[in-house]
Amino acid sequence: MTLRVSVIRKNKSKGIKTWYARIADPEQGIEVYRSLGTTLKGEAQFLAAKALEEFRHKEIDITLERAFAEVVKDRELRGYDSKTMYMYNQAFNMLFELRDRLVADIRPEELSGIFAEKCEKLGASSYNCRHQYCTAIFSYCVEREWIAHNPMKKVPKKKTVRNTFPFFWTVDQVNAILDHASTPELRITWALMAFAGLRKDEAANLSDGDIHDGYIHLVGKGDKMAKVPVSSRLRAELERYGKPLPHIHSLSSSVKVAARNAGIEFHGEATNHRFRHSFASNLIRAGADIKSVQLLMRHENVEITLNTYSHLLGADLEKAVDKIG
């Protein structure tokens, strides 16, 4: 491990600039900052060297089990949702055989062996998800200075190869599937996904009181508050339904049956999530700009939207080039 220290100035309270030690090892993924409590550069350089030595000897005798309990406590205080906490528990269960080991003694090769044994048959997405949460557990240990580096940083992820883009239904196909929904409850739930881009759980948990002032108000992924405009098409579906919104959690294979009954040939899986993909895809095909689509889909950043739906932009790019011909 090659730790290096440098000094930088940062604004503290009331605009006063004070010196910080930046301790880093890019190879190990270490980057921590220590306030040096001085505004003088010469003194800061002396204190930074001292901070580096203290950091090198900071490893504490703490077991993985105790460390994980602290991670859980921290995440619960931060208000992480139940799905995220489930993923943390799943990660710890995978490392359960190391529970009594000191975190400072756990080596990358041991973790690589566990991943090879328990996750070999998983696809890249599931494998890397477990990798992400295991990494987060050890990153917390680094933050608390129980260990100097994160051993998960040397455990390779699985490479993701995306050969296909998400399939979608056209507006006409969506309408045909809705017309073949086996119950009005299914129809309105699918309509919320197809015409507002709601996720399955969001649509299933929506109540009438969540729709007002022309918007759907909901708590979305990561417990983030969101507002989604109600289109005229969705408003027509809500008026057609005319009852308190249902809470349907078991949608299973209903959409596949409806698609087949509507005579629609489809590639890939006919899943409920495909309605959400169709919402974004039909927006792009109708000429919506990619930033608007990102906001309506509530993607964390525009790169996610571009990476998922860039194949639909090809025709738009060709038209744009023709304009300067």
Same domain as 40, residue 135: no
Same domain as 228, residue 288: yes
- In tens, the pLDDT along 238-275 reads 999 999 998 876 666 688 889 889 998 766 667 888 89
In a domain, residue 162? The reply is no
pTM exceeds 0.75, yes or no: no
pLDDT at 117: 92
Contacts of residue 223, Cβ cutoff 8 Å, sequence gap at least 6: 79, 80, 81
Residue 174: pLDDT above 90? yes
In a domain, residue 165? The reply is no
Same domain as 224, residue 83: no
Using alpha carbons, list the distances in angstroms from residue 41 to 18, 35, 44, 231.
9, 13, 5, 59
Going by C-alpha positions, the residue among 87, 160, 76, 93 that lies closest to residue 130 is 87
**Which residue range(s) make up the domain with 314?**
171-322
Using alpha carbons, list the distances in angstroms from residue 21 to 32, 33, 54, 283.
8, 6, 12, 49
Same domain as 147, residue 44: no
β-bridge pairing 215-219 and 211-212:
antiparallel
CATH number at residue 318: 1.10.443.10
The answer to whether 111 touches 157, Cβ cutoff 8 Å, is no
The answer to whether 228 touches 197, Cβ cutoff 8 Å, is yes
CATH number at residue 133: 1.10.150.130
The answer to whether 125 touches 141, Cβ cutoff 8 Å, is no
